[in-house]
Amino acid sequence: MNTLPAQEIKRRGVKAIELALKNGPVHIIKNNVPACVILTEAQYAYLTTPRPQKTKKDNLLQWLLQKKTLASKTREELDTLLTTERDGWD
């Protein structure tokens, strides 16, 4: 976790925040307790950009509908393959 004490901000100013932001979001510590988080403008924009909500069911259905089969076999071909494989189990 990238932290910065509030005292450090009082002492060094915005430069302390800018340096800390190079390592990701900055958690500001006040009285040994996390008080807030500072983000870059790009990180904030990413978090606040609306995204369409999809349910897991919709995602799975879309995935199945888009899934392409490599090859299709008839029922008889599948039965023959299964029988051959099962005969090899003995």
For residue 68, pLDDT over 90 is answered with no
Q: Are residues 43 and 7 in the same domain?
A: yes
Rounded distance between C-alpha atoms, residue 15 and residue 48, angstroms: 25
Q: What is the pTM (predicted TM-score) of this model? A: 0.55
For residue 86, pLDDT over 70 is answered with yes
Q: For residue 39, what is the enclosing H or E element?
A: none
Instruction: Report pLDDT for 66.
Output: 81
Q: Are residues 61 and 41 in the same domain?
A: no
**Structural domain boundaries enclosing 72:** 56-87
Mean pLDDT along residues 13-24: 95
Q: Are residues 25 and 44 in the same domain?
A: yes
Q: Are residues 39 and 14 in the same domain?
A: yes
Mean pLDDT along residues 20-49: 95
CB 34 within 8 A of CB 27: yes
Q: What's the structural domain count of the chain?
A: 2
